[in-house]
Copies of this chain bind each other. A is one copy, B any other.
Amino acid sequence: MTLRSADQIREQLEQAIIAAEFADGERLDQMMLSKRYSVSRTPVREALHALSTSGLVEAVPRRGVFVRYPSFIKLVEMFDVMAELEAMCGRLAARRITEDELAHLEDAAAACEWAMEKGDADDYYRENERFHHVLYHASGNSYLAEEASKLHKRLQPFRRLQLRVRGRLAQSMREHREVQDAVTKGDAARAAQALHGHIAIQGEHLNDLMANFAKHRARSASRAS
């Protein structure tokens, strides 16, 4: 599908940044990257500037592009917006979800439960992802679904770490079931409220999360060297 190396490089850089392979504020050198990906500077340049549009890096004219991890404050803000978007998805989905989508929701929820019982955080994370995307889609608002997905992806590394916090997995699962129940019964207000809480609690626990993230980034950096 994508036969442009600029797009592939953008994709790979995105992954690399999300995986914290670069230090905060580090300059992404075009020459270095073009060697790394065995292409000329042209597609690298395009990829870098594309990334700056989506906010993962900051492009300073004539100086270069620098990776910018969101500050603590910014993260809290982003989780707050995420909570609102998810709540909106829930409210709409409660009214609009189809039988088919309800079945998918149950599938995802069951898979989450199974992962939880196994105590497999990675697997839980994957199925949790599916659960939420079913809801985005079920909102029947494709623009909303798109925006929610984007932000969801952006917050991925921060959310993921939180699942490692003790007891969070079971708690998260209970919240999923509450959401599912509200959506199934068509209770828009309760679905919205449950989803809002489900996300907002992550923002509120950002302190623990940041501590974990720092540890993780330290490990990741030492591996990279």
A-to-B contact residues, CB < 8 Å: 2-4, 6-7, 45-46, 49-50, 53-54, 61-62, 73-74, 77-78, 80-81, 84-85, 88, 141-144, 147
Contact = CB atoms under 8 A, between A and B. Distances in A.
Contact of A81 (B54, B62, B147): B147
Nearest to A91: B84
Contacts of A142: 73-74, 77
Contact of A49 (B46, B54, B84, B85): B46
A144 B53 contact: no
Given A46-B46, A74-B142, A74-B143, 13 more contacts: A4-B61, A4-B62, A7-B61, A46-B49, A49-B50, A73-B142, A77-B141, A80-B141, A80-B143, A81-B88, A81-B143, A81-B144, A81-B147
